Chain A
């Protein structure tokens, strides 16, 4: 019997669900169960009697629709948890960077306020470690020791940079590597036991802070029929091909974390 991975997420879950429909997914050596809802409603979930539950009817409905059957997530049913999106994102770091920069930043001339490296890093780490993804992981951790993986939101697409000149400038500057490095380090230091950050597959990136446009074209909304496309200039959500790469990445990370688990199945 395959290991079971519970994948919980917001709108970014759609890419992974669609990825499961691709032929390449047939070779994935794990069983995935998807549970999705808008970020705000997922925040209403708490742990009760070993289950992730909520009183929010909209959240329950969303979970049931995305899963196809269950509206209750029984934590003991799974060998791994994966949390997708939920604002673990480079956008949180750029919200810090928008006004506050350090003297090391290439774009310091645009700073409204200058701060030390340590202050900037604390803020960026604080933003990421306080985001919904980590909050949800924290709730799950109160009820189970099962490993949790956090897949950050993908970097925005190249089309996003076309829409926002400011972002285009950032992407071209040396600051992009620095901000991506901070995100990586914040992922590695999530202050919860047995929580692993799953970085974006490197081959999906156009540069440190952008995803290749080919991975965003044709992205869809997290709806019942999974057939409603995002607007062409969305730039934030990714498509099935991206989702399939993340699913592979999840299995790779799970294998690394627990060689006796998934690896034994191969």
Chain B
């Protein structure tokens, strides 16, 4: 819903991500508008505490109810959080910004206008990885409308009731440049934005509860063109899955129109995740004239050195910086570094495990692999959103960071095989404890490459004569059943590499 000049020329045209458009005739151009509820103690313009599911209309006062005579006062903490977001995104922080009134009538808007920022926002420009930021501004949230009756929408409902608890909650609106080229890219980038905001501590960034909401401006243009097509605005998607599905559905809809020789109509759309349908909320002709003008009840926000210093002092290491550090200082692969940094709970766990002083010490890359792979997979609650619910956060599991570090150290020192280590991890997740104790109790210590293993290999060759013959003939893949036999016999304690070596030794290949 932001009015902004759309830059005609994009800095780096990016190829569409795989799968979004089959014939590559059209290239999607997507800009995102993200509303973030700020985790302040009180509302944007009054002293009411923020509401977390209290009974309706219990967190209200004359100001957030828009009663006659009431006046707004800016929440300094919201400005502080806004500056932190600007710093994190590399924005230019405006020394002076202005609140405007955005006028329209709706029952969830008690004053008949929303206090927002217009042409002089708090933060201008910036970038988060591959997407440029247009601006960040502060505003107040609307109240919550509940439509009673069959439809659940205002049309056709029997009655609509208003809960003003949410009204006036501070919001930061982050507007990107139209740099996104696919639904997948949008989803990945939003996840990075979310973890960045969470790391800053400025928001709960919980999409289910609406503390992070996203609109997408979507247009298509012939591949290779730098002209922008007619855009539509897809409103208020509240999960990563819906965002991805919604954008994909809208791209498909526009593509169908364009390939059929039609024209896309500029309008505001609603994506229904249940049916997958896209419906029009209003067309350009019905668009509001918001009659923006400077809010006369507030003075301009003047940012002084003290406020800037406070915002800088409150900055923590951001995910992108953390990824860079993990890669540089510990030699992690770019992918692992990013996985750990973008899921702060995994990164924190990784760094705790590394610092646990396990002997033998786990190699960082192996430790990272175990955390992002084996451990994360076992703890996942199956939510593809990778939300840091209890299921996804290893610090909430029974596996102590020191225990995992110890286990990975043993694997690296070949004191336990990978297969056996997986069994130990299962045990750690179920019961907790120390890896060494489990290894001893279960008899999972790696077999050394001595006579015992050689005998088991010889027995395995005898039991798999066909396979042995094929290996002898040079078919490397045929070794599988022989190794499998050994592993069964040793309950996984044998080292796979050592087994393969002994097979070849005994076969003389």
Instruction: Check if A and B associate.
Output: no
Question: Which residues of A are in contact with B by a Cβ distance under 8 Å?
Answer: none
